[in-house]
Amino acid sequence: MDKYYMDVALHLARKGAGKVNPNPLVGAVIVNDGKIIGKGYHESYGKAHAEINAFKDAETELIEGSTMYVTLEPCSHYGKTPPCVDQIIENRIKRVVIGMVDPNPLVSGKGVKKLQEAGIDVTVGILEDKCKKLNEVFIKYITKKKPFVVLKTAMSLDGKISTTSGESKWITDKEARENVHILRNELTAIMIGIDTVIIDNPELTCRIPNGRNPIRIVVDSNLRIPYDSKILQTAKKFKTIIATTEKARKEKIHKLKDLGIIVIETKSKNEKVDLKDLMHKLGNQNIDSILLEGGSTLNYSALESGIVDKILVYIAPKIIGGMKSKTPVGGSGISHLKDAFKVRELSTSIIGKDILLQGYIEGDES
């Protein structure tokens, strides 16, 4: 039954999506004599952890001698909340089943050790792969202090992201677009290139009820962003970052800052924003995840620089054609097939009338 109860904990953990970043998603279940007597999950950043919420849920039940199932190793250090292991020990839990050990190298294994020293039976690794997949963003961020980058694109069956005239709205259907807004809610930031701003003039907000608007990031090496763009017009309402190079015009930088924009200057790589350097700087600003909705040029640069972790490709059952119609990945491209960007763990699903392909980029340095 360990897998069954851990699966319940995983479903609980997912409820915190979009609310706990940069903390992990965690669910906890307390079981006594084959009955679930308490359930909890980490509901929002800075608030009580899953284990504490499970204890609160079970306050009228018999906790002593129970088994607790938790998707991530209980914390053993003081952060924004007291250590959960202390509460587990004080409540006389008999057994703790853990999905995965905390990937944070500063605390990894210490929670398990403290529980065992208190005489509690500890089992680790139940549905571990599912637990790791659930917290792939947290694992990347806590171990490398850089954001987990998801490259998203939408195209026709013949691999086009726009028509010969440049029209791109909308290639995919309503359900696929709604799915993207869920991603905008769950990931901390959204990043586009300056060409997308100039051509599409997007606002980059989340349009689901009670959704969280992502931090908006524009890669603009030469600070070409128009003052009348929706991004700048709403900068005081939605947190916005513009990434440029150290060679950018200081006068415009000052004007952008006056509008409430955060301007990040990176090293210049071929007179463009150094995306690796940018990831380090964004990580230092507690940005743990990015939805990359760039055009073909930025997509290629992101893949080439090795910052992309995951790729989502929405495919519409349409054929556009045209030699000049853009494809999802442009740039200079590769010369030899052996150098192609390889995707692993590719999976397929249907969303409305469209197909979603998703997988992970092999060998990325990020």
Q: Is 73 a catalytic site residue?
A: no
**Cβ(359)–Cβ(344) under 8 Å?**
yes
CB atoms within 10 A of CB 90: 10
CB atoms within 10 A of CB 226: 13
- Strand, helix or coil for residue 215: strand
Q: Which tokens belong to 348?
A: 């397929």
Choosing from 51, 73, 265, 293, the catalytic residue is 51
- What region does 119 belong to: left with phi over 0, alpha with psi -120 to 50, or beta? left
Task: Compute the distance between CA of residue 331 and CA of residue 334 in angstroms, rounded to an integer.
Answer: 9
**Known catalytic residues?**
51
